[in-house]
Amino acid sequence: MRASPSVATGATDEASDGAVPGERGEARGSGPGPVLVAACLGLFTVFLQTTETIGTLGAVQAGLRVEPADMVWVPSMYTLVVASCVLGGGALADRWGRRRVFLAGTAAMAAGALVLTLAGDLTTVLVGQAVAGLGGALITPSSLALITHAVRDPRRRAGAISAWAAASGLGLALGPLVAGLALRWWTWHTAFWLNIVMAALAAAVALVRVSESRNPAARRVDWAGQCTAAAGLALLVFWLIDGGHHGYGSARAVAAAAAAVLLLAAFIAVELRHRAPMVDLRLMRDPSYSASLLLAGSVLFGFVGLSLLQVMWLERVRGLTALQVGVQLLAEFGAFIAASVLAGIFVRRLGPRALITAGLLLAAVGAALFARIEPDTAFTGYAAAFVLFGLGCGLANAPSTALAVSHVPRGREGEAGGTVNAARQIGAVLGTSILGTLITSGFVERLVRVHDPRAAFTDAVGHATWVAVAVLLLGAAVAIGLSARSRRTRLATATG
C-alpha cells in the first residue's frame, strides 16, 4: 500500500509505506472506510473491557476468594494504566506510526485478555488488567489519529468521530451482557475471549486495509516527557482511587499526591524546554482548546461515573443479576449510540458547541431524574432517566472530542488524540473515584439513621448523583461561554 505526502496548516504529514504522488495525501487502497472500521473495532474492545470487568467482579471475588478491600484494584488497575499511558500513546503514534502503535495496542489488548482467561489468582488478574490497559492506552489515541488523518474535511471528520464514539458506547453496552452470559453458562474467564477475537479483527483490518502514516517532524521520542507524564499521571490516578477507599489524608495518599505534583511539574518544565515536546503545552494558551479538554473530561466524568452508580444500585438494591443489569442498561447505552450517530449528522449544521451544550443539559436532566429514585422503584420508573442521560452523553461525547482535535495543526493528530483522551480518562477516573467515595461514606452515615441497607444505599446513590448533575451543568456553562466567545470572535473578524 502506498501513500502520498500531504501539506497542511502548521505541520507536514506523510505516509510511510512508500510515498508516491496522489491526491491530497490519501493513501492508495486505504480510504476512510477501512480506517474507520479498524478504529471502531479497536475502541469497541477498549470499552468492552471496562464493563466486562465490572460485570464479573462478584464472580472473581467468590472464585478467587479475594478480600473486598482488594477487589477495588481489579477494575482500577485497567483504568490506572490507560489514564497514565494514553498521553504517551498519542505522541508515539505521531512519531513511530499510527498504524504501528494501533497494532501494538491490539496485540497488548489481546494478550491481557488471554492472561485473564487463564488467571487463577488475584496477582494474575491484575497483570492481565495492566497489560490490557496498556493496549487501551495505545489503541485509544492512535485510532482517533488514524481517523483524523484519513478524513480531511472537518465536518466529515466530526461525523467519523461520532461513529468512533458510538463504538465506545456499544462496547460499554455489550460488556455487562457478555459477562452475564458467561456467568450463566460458563465461568467469568470466558467473558474475555470476545476481547481476543475483537482485537484480532481490528488488527486484521488495519494490516490489510490501512496504510501507515506519521508526522515526520516528530520522529524523535521525548523520553523525559514520556516518563515524567506516565509516572505523574499514574501516581495521580493512584491517589484518586486509593484515597477514595482509604482516605485522602492517609500518609500513603499524601505521599502519592506530593510525588504526582512534583513529577507533573517536572513534565511541564521538560515540555516547555524541549524542541520537539511530546505535548506542546503552548496549545493550552488557546482558551477554546483548553475548554474543549475540560468538556471532554466532564462528559466522561458523568457518563462513566454515573454508569457505575447505576450498576451498583441495580445489583445491590434491586437484586438483579449481571445479565439482567446488562439488559436494563441497554436503554441507556442504546440511547448513547443513537445520539452519537445523530451527533455526527447534526454537527455539520449546528457545530460542536451547540451539541455539547444541549447534550450536557439533557444528561443533567436524566441524572437528576435518577437521583430521585426509591429502593422499590421499578424499571418503568427510571427508564426515562436512563434514556435521557444516554442521549445527552451521546450528543456531547463525540463533539467534545472533535472540538479539541480541530484546534491543533495537521500532522499532530496523535498528540491531540492523546491529550484529549487523557482528559477523558482522567474525567472517568474522577467520576468513579469521587462518586464511589461519596457512596461509601454516605452509605455508612445513612445506615446509622435509617437502619435499612437498601434505603441507605439508595440515599447515598442519590446524593452522589447530584454531584454528577453539578459537574454536567458546570460543563454546560463552559460550553455556553465558549459559544459566546466564538460568536464575538467571528463578529470582530467580520467588522474588522
Q: What is the pLDDT of residue 7?
A: 29
Residue 270, pLDDT score: 84
Separation between Cα atoms, residue 307 and residue 168, nearest integer Å: 13
Instruction: Give the three cell numbers for residue 219.
Output: 520522529
Q: How many CB atoms lie within 10 A of CB 98?
A: 36
Q: What is the pLDDT of residue 43?
A: 92
Q: Is the pTM of this model over 0.85?
A: no
For residue 400, what pLDDT is reported?
A: 80
Nearest to 387, CA basis, from 334, 346, 431: 334
Which residues contact residue 458 at a Cβ distance below 8 angstroms, ignoring those fewer than 6 apart?
313, 317, 373, 374, 375
pLDDT recorded at residue 4:
34
Query: What angle (nearest 5°) sits at the alpha carbon of residue 127, between those of residues 125 and 130?
Result: 110
Q: CB within 8 A of 142, min separation 6: which ones? A: 89, 90, 93, 98, 99, 101, 102, 105, 414, 417
Name the nearest CA neighbour of 344 among 303, 404, 398. Answer: 398
pLDDT tens string, the chain, 496 residues long: the values are 333 333 233 334 444 443 333 333 333 445 678 899 999 999 999 989 988 888 887 788 888 887 766 777 788 788 888 878 887 787 788 788 889 999 999 999 999 999 999 998 899 999 999 999 999 989 988 898 888 888 877 677 777 888 888 888 788 888 888 888 888 888 889 999 999 999 999 999 999 988 888 766 655 667 787 788 888 888 887 887 777 666 777 888 889 889 999 998 998 888 788 776 766 677 777 777 788 888 888 988 998 889 888 888 898 899 888 788 888 988 998 898 888 888 878 877 777 888 899 999 999 999 999 999 999 999 999 999 999 999 999 898 878 877 776 666 665 555 666 677 778 877 887 787 778 778 877 777 787 787 788 888 999 899 999 999 999 999 999 888 876 766 666 565 656 5
